[in-house]
Structure 1
Amino acid sequence: MHIRSLLRRKGSAVTTIAASASVREALDRLAEHGIGALVVSSDGRTVEGIVSERDVVHGLHQQGTGVLDEPVSAVMTAEVHTCVPGAGVEELARTMTDHRVRHVPVVEDGALVGIVSIGDVVKARLDQLEEERARLVDYIQTG
């Protein structure tokens, strides 16, 4: 299965935030949308960074509650691992595991077209395994 198929199922909506917005605003947006990460983008197309719940927790630990009034750029991850829609789910799972990331923006021709979470990858893989199991059972039962 390719990321393109996964995005067709889950949708391609991506919640973004400007690097100049406050960390408090980022937390509000994360809670409002029930998500774990925001793509940092000034225009909604380019990926300038990513800010996750984990980034905020690290910022709070290092700087205290004052970090909430700092800009997102103070806590965001600037080196973002991205993938293309044609990437395979297994390949992306490996990338996420190797780099210990939970959210990967999907970029095509330099433009943001979606985001994939580790939960999306696990669900897609479980769906694949269930489909394979059903085919094997059918093969065994029907010959």
Structure 2
Amino acid sequence: MRIRDILRRKGSTVATVRPDATVRELLAALAEHNIGAVVVSPDGAAIAGIASERDVVRRLHRHGADLLDRPVSEIMTAEVRTAAPDAAVEDLRRTMTEHHIRHVPVLEDGRLIGIVSIGDVVKSSIDELESEREHLVGYIQRAP
């Protein structure tokens, strides 16, 4: 299975915030879309970073409530691992596990076209296993 297959099922909508948005605005976007991370982008296509609930919690612990009025660029992860739509989901699963990453933006020709979460990867694995099980059961039931 390819990352493109996951995007085809879930859609390509990606929530973004500008680097100069406040952490308060970031939290509003996370809550509005019921998601765990947003891509930080100056224009909705290029990636400046990624900001997650974890980023907020860790910085809040260190800096207190004053953090809420600071720009997202101060808390985002600037070094973002990305994936291509034609990459294998198996490779993405390995990358996410090895690097403890929960969200990976998908780029095509340098432009943001989607985002894949660890939940999307797990769901695709379950779907594949279910399909294989159905094929095996059908094969066994047809056997003489």
Inter-partner Cα distance in structure 2 for 1:74 and 1:57:
13
Query: Hey, what does 1:23 align to over in structure 2?
Result: 23
CA deviation map 1:59-93 (0-9, x unaligned): 10111111111100111000001000001111111
Aligned-partner residue type, residue 43 of structure 2: D
Query: Hey, what does 1:6 align to over in structure 2?
Result: 6
Query: Hey, what does 2:95 align to over in structure 1?
Result: 95
Query: Hey, what does 2:45 align to over in structure 1?
Result: 45
User: Among the aligned pairs, what percent are the same residue?
Assistant: 62
Question: Unaligned 5+ residue runs, structure 2?
Answer: none
Inter-partner Cα distance in structure 2 for 1:133 and 1:38:
35
Taking the TM superposition and a 5 Å limit, the aligned residue runs for 1:78-89 are 78-89=78-89
Query: Hey, what does 1:114 align to over in structure 2?
Result: 114
CA deviation map 1:88-127 (0-9, x unaligned): 1111111101110100000011000000000000000000
Query: Hey, what does 1:56 align to over in structure 2?
Result: 56
Runs of 4+ in structure 1 deviating by more than 4 angstroms, as ranges, are none
CA deviation map 1:118-139 (0-9, x unaligned): 0000000000000001111111
Shift of 1:41: 0.3
Aligned-partner residue type, residue 29 of structure 1: A
Query: TM-score normalized by structure 2?
Result: 0.98
Q: Does the residue aligned with 1:64 lie in a helix, a strand or coil?
A: helix
Inter-partner Cα distance in structure 2 for 1:67 and 1:98:
30
Q: CA RMSD in A?
A: 0.6
Inter-partner Cα distance in structure 1 for 2:128 and 2:47:
30
Are residues 1:74 and 2:74 paired?
Answer: yes
Inter-partner Cα distance in structure 1 for 2:125 and 2:62:
36
Inter-partner Cα distance in structure 1 for 2:61 and 2:89:
33
Q: Does the residue aligned with 1:123 lie in a helix, a strand or coil?
A: helix
